Amino acid sequence: MKKWTITVSTAGLASALLLGGLASTAVPTMAKTKKTSNITGTITVLTNRTDMQANGMLNQYSKEFEKLYPGTKVKWETFVDNNTVQVQMNGGVYPDVMMILPTITPQELPNFFAPLNNLGLGNKLYFNNFEAYQGKVYGIATFGDVNGIVYNKLAFKKAGIKSTPTTLSQFYQDCALLKKAGITPIALNYTDKWPLQYWTDVLPDLISQNANYLNTMVSSNTPFSPNTPMGKSLNVARTIVNKGYAEPDFKNTNWANSKTMMAKGKYAMMFLGNWAVPQVIADGIPSKDVGFFPFPASNNGKNIAILTPDWFLAVNKHSKHIPTAEAFVKWEVTQSGYANYAGGIPTLKSQKSGVPQLIQFEKQASKVIEGLPQSAQWTKISNGAQLDLTGGGAVQTVLTASNFSSALNQMNQAWANAKSLIGN
């Protein structure tokens, strides 16, 4: 769920040069690390939060950390593009504390990062085993996310909706009411593509009430058939478009604009994550008018939510100041208050979120279960089948296809082909 990533920057690059230019020499050239327990020295920390650099929050964080551990210095480095970081890692020189890129497989973790088992956090954390290999933990989540529907309470009121929908049929009814009131019921953000990912990488799990559902797809040759959770989930997205519940010109959308439209009450809902709440509020609507509820995926009104990790922090194994880097990771996750700032659920199980929308959400969800990472096999097959299930590409294909069931058939075929090529 790397929703902050902005990938506009690559416009003018000739892909040929880009592909050819990735150096293949991943020979780490840094000096051997000394085993000292002193927390001192300068560390560089990579972050995706360019907005927090702009508003000075990052500087504030580094000052707090430096005060806690005199003799240390924290330098921030921001990035907007995974590929740049990947090239750096390929070259063997990268920041001391950084995020684990989604392309890195568990087997590759020990090549790049230092194990974090001795931080003494272990089972006190959510997602402790997400970025682990052979019993060693290499990544700690910055915070947890839950996916659900962000909505404008005033728009609901205007359409005469008293309470948030808890079943799929209620959801469609509310959409119809909103449409009648002249409000766009739910914005899909088709053009930006990434906001569509939740229809394929979250909703099927919610429909099946199984956090491991996606991983079970690898044993099926037809995981996209209409009666499967994946097929049902895509059908919801397709129904929204067919009934005109999405944006009027849904193929020409703009994420920044959608947030403003939601703040103004012209769009009522968006299926995103808790992190979207502060962003909508930032666009000029009081916090009390923005709500967040679990996706009404069930027929009995009992909707689960799945807790998924945001970015994972990891420590560069070639770092000269591993203890400092480790201390920083621990501090950011347990003491900095970053989770609340970002509107997420703290990774430390004992901490509770202070965000009102999350409190509302947790009240309405029948239960919140911890998500599981997608298996390597699942990723291999979906990549081999060239089905973009985690980035929204597959949803785009389905929403554009002239025939829904033949689109699902094609996906089944691509999946089965890739599966037979890759083997079990």
- Where does this chain bind other proteins (CB under 8 A)? 8, 10-12, 14-17, 19-22, 24, 26, 82-83, 86, 89-90, 103-104, 108, 190-193, 248-252, 254, 383-384, 386, 388, 391, 393, 396-397, 400
Strands (E), 17-135: 41-47, 72-78, 97-99, 113-114, 132-133
Quick one: tokens of 160? 């005469």
Cβ distance 252 to 409 under 8 Å?
no
The residues near 226 (Cβ < 8 Å, ≥ 6 apart) are 232, 235, 405, 408
Between the two ends of the chain, the Cα-to-Cα distance in Å is 27
CB of 387 to other proteins, least distance (A): 9
Nearer to other proteins, 5 or 38 (CB): 5
Q: Tell me the closest approach of the beta carbon of residue 176 to other proteins, in angstroms.
A: 21
Nearer to other proteins, 20 or 182 (CB): 20
- Least distance CB 253 / other proteins (angstroms): 9
Nearer to other proteins, 359 or 376 (CB): 376
For residue 324, what are the β-bridge partners? none
* Cβ at position 24, least distance to other proteins in Å: 7
Cβ proximity to other proteins: between 177 and 418 the closer is: 418
Short-list 60, 25, 66, 61, CA closest to 42: 66
Q: Which of 87, 65, 152, 66 lies closest to 337 in space, CA to CA?
A: 65
Closer CB to other proteins, residue 10 or residue 42? Answer: 10
Q: Which two tokens stand for residue 274?
A: 């808790």
Return the number of the residue (117 or 257) whose C-beta is nearest other proteins. Answer: 257
Least CB distance to other proteins at residue 408 (A): 15
The minimum distance between CB 359 and other proteins, in angstroms, equals 35
Query: 198 CB contacts (<8 Å, ≥6 apart)?
Result: 147, 271, 272, 273
